[in-house]
Structure 1
Amino acid sequence: MSGVSGAGTLRISRPWPLLLMVLAFAAGAVLSLENLSLILPVSRWWQTFLSTPGQDIRHIMVFDGWLPRLAISVLCGAVLGLAGTLFQQVLKNPLAEPMTLGVSAGAQLALTLFTLWAPAVMLYHPQWAALGGALAAAFIVLALSRPRQYEPSAVSVAGLVVTLFCGSVIMALQLLYTPYLHSLFIWGGGSLLQQDWRNVAVLGLQFLAGMCFAFLLLRPLTVLALGDGHSGSLGLGSGTIRIAGFTLAVALSAGVVSAVGVIGFVGLSAPALARLAGARRLRQRLIAAPLCGALVLWLTDQTVQRFSAMTGDIPTGAATALFGAPLMLLLLARFQPAASGVEPPYAGASLQRPGDPGIYRRFAALVLLLALAMALSLDFGRTPGGWHFTALHALPQVSLWRVPRAVAAMASGTMLAVAGVLIQRLTGNSLASPELLGVSAGAALGLVALLLYQGDALPILRLSVSTLGALAALLAILSFARLTRFSPQRILLAGIAVSALLQAVVAVVVAGGGDRAAALIAWLAGSTYSIGPAEARNALLLCLLLCLATPCCHRWLTILPLGEMTSTALGVATPKARLAVLGLIALLTAAATLVVGPVSFIGLTAPHFARLMGARRPTHQLLLAPPLGALMLVAADWLGRTLLMPRELPAGLVATLLGAPYLMWLLMRRR
């Protein structure tokens, strides 16, 4: 197998991919027959197929349940394979697909909103609702990545941000409207359960129409691959064709989401498998990719059904990410991103002279502001009678539950901010953070797995398992980044893949965990509701110990961004120094994740605000970022607790809803 060129073209001359697909088809057929036999004994197949519809319960189970699910898995795979091919052709990005572009998340958010406030639309026209959300998300991603000329890394990061933002809004709505959206969590993971043939008929028509339109655009899309300059010289309006192809792909993706929920990574894997099978021309890929997508999703769903008999129903869409994310890592290992010409943000700033001497005055002002925010969060609140300060005689009573939450939020915000500074300095990437690189998701995965099997685990065991998960995610990311000497683009893309993989595993674990898993959903959103004095004390102690260890990394943080050769020449043992910083990042992230969940954007925004306030050197950034992170999370916890009183939003969720728009603005400004 040859490598992937800069344009993402894969050249294959070996027959093993076709043999692998034949074996996959055989495995899918065997699994399908076995799953059918679990519903209907083999001895009754002939009798049931000849019986009159509606007279036998097994006939209903097979013909209105199992067969529609089989058909919808094949159709959804084919549609996603076609959509992924169109996305990759239009954007010239081999990593583009509905999930990485935020299209699926936008469609899911639109369906959630219409379910709550316009259920009639969901009853009669769910496809149009999904299409509107998908188009809005897709064009936001394009607008965010336009300053970087739609580079694969820029598009992927923009898609991840939009996905996280839409997911946060969906999670907030699920927490606020639990009685109405109780089953949305499982459906959002991509459940292929069917009760009739309606979705099969609708999606089948959409697929046929999509294939017809795709072949009508075949020649313009083929010319478009030559570049805007060549296509323009041939009289082709590249902008119009690009919008037409992109809109068609979005419409196909929205149709799948409206039918079965979010199915991840099939749109990525199907075109890649088509190239491996020898489909090099666009015409060949338009035929081969839907076939590969149908095969992938059919095999995955039959495997899920086989294991669901023992573990309970698992969303098929979450299961596809278990192999789709590793495939993205494989493609990433062989795909060479185009040079962006952007200097790493810390390369020139690391050895600068000390910055503004007023940095310590700003630190003192931030500490005072943090103290004021802590006081307000403890004393100022909202009741059915309105906003007011708590009376002095009632303050001891309310402090019993307000103080632990505020202290835990302050400690977690501080640790995430420090972890963000360390990871940005280590990677030389201003968009790196524990949330975007999958470190928080790794810590969450370890903790979720532990709590599902041992709910009364000791705090030290929880911290140890979370730290191992965070460290494993970091090492997986950096092992891929090492192939290109820690390229910022490679680190971001690897982090996106690892984050998607770990979040999919978390979704599968939660979906199969029963009542205990349902209780974890609020924690995954970053809730401090159950924090008590013991948890707050532990969080504060960990924060103090870990933050006191960060000054030991000052010299490494100053020298490591200059590059491995320069660091070695200056006497730094690069592997040991990098491993020590990674271990500290993992501990900080794991300790914070125990309190506020896996996503909050504090680790990204706090270092940026510190730089905006004049912090250029590592020591100055480590001085300003912690109080900023603590201030943001304390404010988020107070807002989530008071704005919708008596309802409540988790602090991590509020921080994500506030931080994602800032990150979008940051992406718009990046050159």
Structure 2
Amino acid sequence: MFILESVNSFYEGVKKTALVLFLLILLVTVSLTVGPAGIDLNLLNGLPFLQQPVDHAMASEIVTWLLLPRTLMALLCGAALGAAGVLIQGATRNPFASPATLGVNSGAMLAVVLGTVLLPELTDQYPVVVAFAGAALTTLLVFRLATAISDSPVNLVLIGMAITLSLGALSAGILMFFENRLEGLYTWGAGNLAQFNYQAINSSWPIFTLMILFATLLARRLDLIELGREQAESLGVNVRRTVGLSLVIALLLSATVVSQVGMISFIGLIAPHIARGLGYRSAWKRLLAASLTGALLLLGADVLARTIPFLMSEAHYSIPAGAMTTVVGAPFMIFLLSQRKRISNLARAPGETGIRALFQVSPAKVLWVLLSLMLVAFYFSLFSGLDQSWIDLRWPRVLTAAFAGAALAVSGLVLQTLMRNPLASPDVSGLTTTGVLFVVLGSVMMPGLERLDLLMLSMLGSGFALLVLMALSRMTGFNPQLFALAGLCLSAVSATLISVVMVLGSNQSSEVLVWLSGSTYAASRELVYLLSFGVLILIPMFMLMWRKLDILQLGAFWPSLLGIKVKASVYLLMLLVALLSATSVATVGGISFIGLMAPHICRVSGMSSHRHLIPATAMTGALLLVLSDWLSRSLMAPFEIPSGLLVSGAGGVYFILLLLSGKYVQSR
């Protein structure tokens, strides 16, 4: 009976492997007939879609020097990322871990970008070494911070994705500041598989092959580690050494991929799950299956990235393959979060979540202090070093920053109250980024839209994101960590789709890029009037509902007992949040983390009633963004850093410190 079961299992494994290989061969064939950069290539005679005779000498050159190296690079990088994903998930015993979600890729990319600016000769000669150094430092930082907080696998990924956002903001700022010296790195950063010779392949395949072979030698020990640390050590496994070697191999694989083709996200997350879903339980089988699956996924993404522009009659554009993998990978991660059986051992839903106060101060004193600080910030931002003629140009910008900061801050406060989740905010939850996506789509597809049109598009995007997150929250038991993780995934999808839209609408991409980063540079009097009108109507509406907000933060039972219609109140407040955050997005673009930081700063002073929290949070948000706008103009004068990038970098650090400090608390 045992022999029969073994034969059947082997037969099933052979069938699944044969299917993956068949699909891989089919995709390779298709890849060699889909030309990049607008080349309409029909290599096979007699096909129904053959339009005209093809010069076979030219076709042979195209296949040899463009399509074949690109296809081989996709296969190699996909296999490397699939293997890296298995190693990282096995070493951390975390199904959410991957080179993308732990900040490995973003650390490697930042190292390459910095190396290109500071040490161009070294980076050009040894790109893998530079990328590996960045990936290793980032991974070490992620694990140190996560270990200091708790052993929760979800916290590990939260830290990784927060660092990814901060490093991504820093990389974007460097790319914008050194635009001439880093020409082409923006497309490369999104994962560009275009190859024009075999140099990258010849330098990469020995590393990939050697590392995957080394990984198979660790497979048996990784199987034992899955049983638990104590059990593995009792069976003679040096857990510390095995985990360290597995992570080093995964880092080398990921860093090599980043150094050659840029950021390829989520292949390392999806491929191991598909391999496990195909029935491969042992680590060495998963390693090989994930390598094949990763190669299949990345090549398929690249073929799709080349096909979409051709179908849209925009064949002279090229969508980075890394963008396509994120579009597929982030929804896949959200799907994993929706599976309660998968997440039940990762995080339990808290009974109550909040921010612990550092000290108790009279709310009136806090409000007066905030008002005084805001007036001082206004004074320096408006009058420092300028005469009257320049002040007339600057005041719309300062007021725009103040109103936008207040809008984002109050939106974050209300979201945190309704979700009973201090990790919720318009930006961390994906509302801002999705609103930006809808605005970019409208701006590129229909140039010349008015601000009111942008406001409507932004509201639609924020509302759509809100519906997705609320549905997912119900599935995951309203767990705050998983809510934040889902929001970060939604932000990743939206940010990637924005990159795709910018590639297809490159005529407007330079203007859109600055706006995406979050800037008050283009502020005008009309913009101030529009923004102030929305903010001065919506924030007082929240003030009128402060008693309901105080009661709603107690949960569902007590508000119902006190006669409050919970669902109707929540839906109304959510609608107002979408309107308020959309108003900010339509005027200043993508500003991150203001909605997360401002409510916390007010709560640590001991405020609990929304009668005080709403005005205090509004002033804090205004103060933060006005100061960020002032710093963005002053730090590298006469050059200017988009204030959104400055806030994103600082906000990512704050997000980590929030988890690290223990001020974010859960009681069960």
What is the TM-score normalised by the length of structure 2?
Answer: 0.90
Listed one character per residue, the Cα deviations across residues 589-622 of structure 1 (whole Å, up to 9, x for unaligned) are 1111223322421111111111122222333322
Does the CA-based 8 Å contact 1:615-1:624 persist in structure 2?
A: no
Of the structure 1 ranges 329-338 and 598-607, higher mean CA displacement relative to structure 2 is found in 329-338
Gaps of 5+ in 2: 1-11, 48-55
Instruction: Report the CA distance between 1:345 and its aligned residue.
Output: 5.7
Gaps of 5+ in 1: 1-12, 46-54, 381-388
Match of 1:377 among 366, 378, 381: 381
* Letter paired with 2:31: S
In structure 1, distance between residues paired with 2:184 and 2:131: 18
Q: 1:20 to 1:152 in 2, by over 3 A?
A: farther
Q: 1:482 to 1:507 in 2, by over 3 A?
A: same
Does the CA-based 8 Å contact 1:558-1:617 persist in structure 2?
A: yes
In structure 1, distance between residues paired with 2:563 and 2:28: 60
In structure 2, distance between residues paired with 1:568 and 1:15: 58
Q: After TM superposition, list the pairs within 5 Å mapping 1:499-538 onto structure 2.
A: 499-538=491-530
In structure 1, distance between residues paired with 2:414 and 2:14: 46
Q: After TM superposition, list the pairs within 5 Å mapping 1:129-528 onto structure 2.
A: 129-309=130-310, 310-311=313-314, 312-334=317-339, 335-338=342-345, 343=350, 346=353, 358-380=362-384, 389-390=385-386, 394-395=387-388, 397-528=389-520
Listed one character per residue, the Cα deviations across residues 401-441 of structure 1 (whole Å, up to 9, x for unaligned) are 21011000000110111011111112112122211111111
Which residue pairs with 2:51 in the alignment?
A: none
In structure 2, distance between residues paired with 1:578 and 1:21: 47
Q: 1:204 to 1:82 in 2, by over 3 A?
A: same
In structure 1, distance between residues paired with 2:459 and 2:443: 15
* Letter paired with 2:175: Q
In structure 2, distance between residues paired with 1:473 and 1:491: 12
Are 1:562 and 2:554 an aligned pair? yes
Instruction: Report the CA distance between 1:32 and its aligned residue.
Output: 2.5
Of the structure 1 ranges 27-36 and 169-178, higher mean CA displacement relative to structure 2 is found in 27-36
In structure 2, distance between residues paired with 1:272 and 1:492: 22
Does the CA-based 8 Å contact 2:517-2:644 persist in structure 1?
A: yes
Q: 1:555 to 1:19 in 2, by over 3 A?
A: farther
* Letter paired with 2:382: L
Does the CA-based 8 Å contact 1:39-1:62 persist in structure 2?
A: no
Does the CA-based 8 Å contact 1:265-1:324 persist in structure 2?
A: yes
Q: Report the number of matched residues.
A: 634
Does the CA-based 8 Å contact 2:519-2:642 persist in structure 1?
A: yes
Identity of aligned residues (%): 31
Instruction: Report the CA distance between 1:186 and its aligned residue.
Output: 1.0
Instruction: Report the CA distance between 1:17 and its aligned residue.
Output: 8.0
In structure 1, distance between residues paired with 2:501 and 2:273: 28
Instruction: Report the CA distance between 1:26 and its aligned residue.
Output: 7.2
Are 1:648 and 2:640 an aligned pair? yes
Instruction: Report the CA distance between 1:201 and its aligned residue.
Output: 1.9
Q: 1:629 to 1:17 in 2, by over 3 A?
A: farther
SS for the counterpart of 1:182 is coil
Does the CA-based 8 Å contact 1:451-1:457 persist in structure 2?
A: yes
Which residue pairs with 1:101 in the alignment?
A: 102
In structure 2, distance between residues paired with 1:443 and 1:475: 13
Instruction: Report the CA distance between 1:272 and its aligned residue.
Output: 1.1
Instruction: Report the CA distance between 1:41 and its aligned residue.
Output: 3.7
Listed one character per residue, the Cα deviations across residues 351-377 of structure 1 (whole Å, up to 9, x for unaligned) are x9xx95721121012112101111111
Q: 1:347 to 1:362 in 2, by over 3 A?
A: closer
* Letter paired with 1:573: K
Does the CA-based 8 Å contact 1:438-1:496 persist in structure 2?
A: yes
Q: 1:27 to 1:212 in 2, by over 3 A?
A: closer
In structure 2, distance between residues paired with 1:486 and 1:15: 42
In structure 1, distance between residues paired with 2:246 and 2:351: 34
* Letter paired with 2:328: F
In structure 1, distance between residues paired with 2:60 and 2:99: 36
* Letter paired with 2:618: P
In structure 2, distance between residues paired with 1:339 and 1:33: 43
Does the CA-based 8 Å contact 1:17-1:276 persist in structure 2?
A: no
Q: 1:553 to 1:81 in 2, by over 3 A?
A: farther
Instruction: Report the CA distance between 1:665 and its aligned residue.
Output: 1.9
**What is the root-mean-square deviation of aligned Cα atoms in Å?**
2.6
Does the CA-based 8 Å contact 2:175-2:182 persist in structure 1?
A: yes
Which residue pairs with 2:543 in the alignment?
A: 551
Q: 1:600 to 1:459 in 2, by over 3 A?
A: same
Q: 1:337 to 1:399 in 2, by over 3 A?
A: farther
SS for the counterpart of 1:495 is helix
Which residue pairs with 2:83 in the alignment?
A: 82
Listed one character per residue, the Cα deviations across residues 172-225 of structure 1 (whole Å, up to 9, x for unaligned) are 112211111232211111010001112112221122111121112122212111
SS for the counterpart of 1:39 is coil
Which residue pairs with 2:27 in the alignment?
A: 28
Which residue pairs with 1:110 in the alignment?
A: 111
Q: 1:168 to 1:280 in 2, by over 3 A?
A: same
Q: 1:565 to 1:612 in 2, by over 3 A?
A: closer
* Letter paired with 1:479: A
